């Protein structure tokens, strides 16, 4: 685990997880705090036991923004399953978040 990020998984080995998510934030910003909270709530409800989430603070690791083409924060990147998906914002639009995670919206 790199400085400025936190690994969180649902107690399963990496190879058994269906979803790999990275959330790029600026720690302490209101939008970033909302994004973390909104994402964790949906993941626990819909993906419990089937995901890993890495929260990456770009204030602590600013070079990652350029390396990973992060243009705004917060940005969610669904690395797996393919294809990769990106969603920018505080993730308060539940429908958009569910669609980015390939989950039913009803």
Q: How many CA atoms lie within 13 A of 62 on its CB side?
A: 1
Residue 64 belongs to domain with CATH number: 3.40.30.10
pTM (2 d.p.): 0.83
> What is the Cα Rg of the chain in Å?
13
User: Domain range spanning residue 42?
Assistant: 5-94
Domain-located, residue 100: no
Domain-located, residue 80: yes
DSSP code of residue 66: H
Domain-located, residue 41: yes
Supply angle C-alpha 91, 92, 94, rounded to 5: 90
**How many domains would you assign to the chain?**
1
Q: Average pLDDT for residues 20-43, to the nearest whole number?
A: 98
* pLDDT tens per residue, range 10-26: 454 444 459 999 999 99
Domain-located, residue 22: yes
């Amino acid at each position: 685990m790199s400085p400025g990020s936190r690994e969180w998984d649902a107690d399963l080995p990496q190879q058994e997880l269906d979803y790999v998510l990275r959330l790029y934030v600026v720690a302490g910003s209101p939008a970033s705090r909302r994004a973390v909270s909104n994402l964790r709530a949906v993941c626990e409800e819909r993906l419990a036991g089937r995901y890993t989430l890495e929260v990456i603070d770009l204030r602590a690791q600013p070079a990652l923004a350029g390396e990973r083409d992060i243009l705004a924060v917060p940005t969610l990147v669904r690395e797996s399953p393919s294809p990769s998906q990106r969603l920018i914002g505080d993730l308060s639009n539940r429908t958009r978040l569910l669609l980015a995670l390939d989950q039913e919206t009803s």
